Amino acid sequence: MGVPSLVLGYHGCDESVGEKVLRGEQVIASSKNAHDWLGEGAYFWENNPARALQWAEFIKAHPRWFEARIQKPFVIGAIIALGQCLDLTEAESLGIVRNGFKEMAATLSETNFPLPSNEKGSSKDDDLVKRKRDCAVINFVHEARAARSLPTFDTVRAVFCEGEPLYEGARIMARTHIQIAVRNPASIRGYFRPNSGSWR
């Protein structure tokens, strides 16, 4: 919940966008896609610039799947104060999200709206990367807290176990990572240009 520490996050984008952010001409925009697994926010890969670059390269290779256009993949670093964090690596936050789902499901049932579902991004996707249900639940949690005048969350943080098993019989996945969705722009204390020598 309340986390005093600073973490390093990395965001994959087009070089033109990254350079504008570094010059202070813009900030990393908040993503509001219905499938963003941590709800609305500016997304960063925690301590993982290589994964941020892979994501930018993926967007460049699949332009029809994304609104953003990337000509030259680029990574920008950010110093993030987690602050009031919905941290899905700890029990209290998991309980908040579990209860949020129950409340959302009951609300939708009363109004005869179907629950959104997590979906495959492609026929080979076993990770269900279109996280429409997860996104809806986390956004519902934020809205419900605001309606009750409870403290808002600055950030959302979670581990995503993604990809094939790292080796035969493994429960460690080859693309596992931690992501942070920053909801409060003031949580980003500064941006920086990563030293690429150690991870490219």
pLDDT at residue number 3? 63
This prediction has a pTM of 0.91
Phi, psi (rounded to 5 degrees) for 68: -70, 145
Contacts of 146 (CB under 8 A, 6+ apart): 152
State pLDDT tens for residues 77-118.
Answer: 999 999 999 999 999 999 999 999 999 999 999 998 899 988
pLDDT at residue number 130? 79
Residues in the chain: 200
Share of the chain above pLDDT 70, in %: 93
Task: Convert 37-82 into a string of H (helix), E (strand) and C (coil).
Answer: CCCCEEEEEECCHHHHHHHHHHHHHCHHHCCCCCCCEEEEEEEEEE
Mean per-residue pLDDT for 148-169? Answer: 93
Placement of tokens 């602050």 in the chain? 83
Contacts of 20 (CB under 8 A, 6+ apart): 26
